[in-house]
Structure 1
Amino acid sequence: MTEIVDISTTTDDRAVAERIARAAIDRRVAACARIHAVDSIFRWNGAVETAAEFVVELKTTETARGAAEALLRELHNYELPEILVRPIIGGSQAYLDWVASEVD
């Protein structure tokens, strides 16, 4: 069975989020990309910051993980982009099989 992972990042620019999502699908490093708006509070360079951001979630395989992370670093607009990888421990087998079939 192919291991499925969810990779996420945040950006303050909707166009960057869409560019990342579309490139991940076009390059077949993800089967699905989801974008949603969030409000973030974080510490950066010693100050507490608040930002309206967009989370990009990529559904992909462990095998394609390196390529997906490289794409995020290539297209991201942040000096230090958040790149988090979460294993998918279960779910609809038909959906998980679809994710695996859509990723090169």
Structure 2
Amino acid sequence: MPNEACCVVMTTFSDEKVGEKLIHSLLNQKLAACVQVQSIDSYYHWKGKIQSDKEKLVIIKTTADLYQAVETDILANHDYETPEIVCLPIHSGYHAYLDWIRTETQPR
């Protein structure tokens, strides 16, 4: 198994159908080993105004090598004009869990 760096990619959605499509696309293509979703309240500047929305935060466990494909897939399935897509490196973690991420994101 390659010793690829693992990472967490985060995005948000407000439309449940968009979220389901996005999540299943990532998992079906093996771009993510795990996707977690949490309800959040978002407050932000948008087009000169302060906005607030009920959203879902999506936490995607993947490898750094797959980041570009994950970003492309999110953009293809998202309905926001400018969706949040950020990648956070995992510098360390439980080796068995990180190995599981690497295994689950490998093509079969």
Calculate the TM-score normalised by the size of structure 1.
Answer: 0.96
Question: Aligned ranges for residues 1-104 of structure 1 at < 5 Å?
Answer: 1-104=3-106
Task: Give CA-to-partner distance per residue, 1:24-80, whole Å, 9 cap, x none.
Answer: 110001111111110000010000001000111110001111111100000001000
Contact kept? 1:2, 1:100, Cα under 8 Å: yes
Calculate the TM-score normalised by the size of structure 2.
Answer: 0.92
Taking only the aligned residue pairs, the percentage that are identical comes to 33
Moved over 2 A (4+): none
CA deviation after TM superposition for structure 1 residue 15, in Å: 2.1
CA deviation after TM superposition for structure 1 residue 89, in Å: 1.1
Tell me the distance in 1 between the aligned counterparts of 2:18 and 2:92.
30
Contact kept? 1:17, 1:35, Cα under 8 Å: no
User: How many corresponding residue pairs?
Assistant: 104
The one-letter code of the counterpart of 1:16 is V
Tell me the distance in 1 between the aligned counterparts of 2:50 and 2:7.
31
Give ranges in structure 2 of 5+ residues lacking alignment: none
Give ranges in structure 1 of 5+ residues lacking alignment: none
CA deviation after TM superposition for structure 1 residue 17, in Å: 1.5
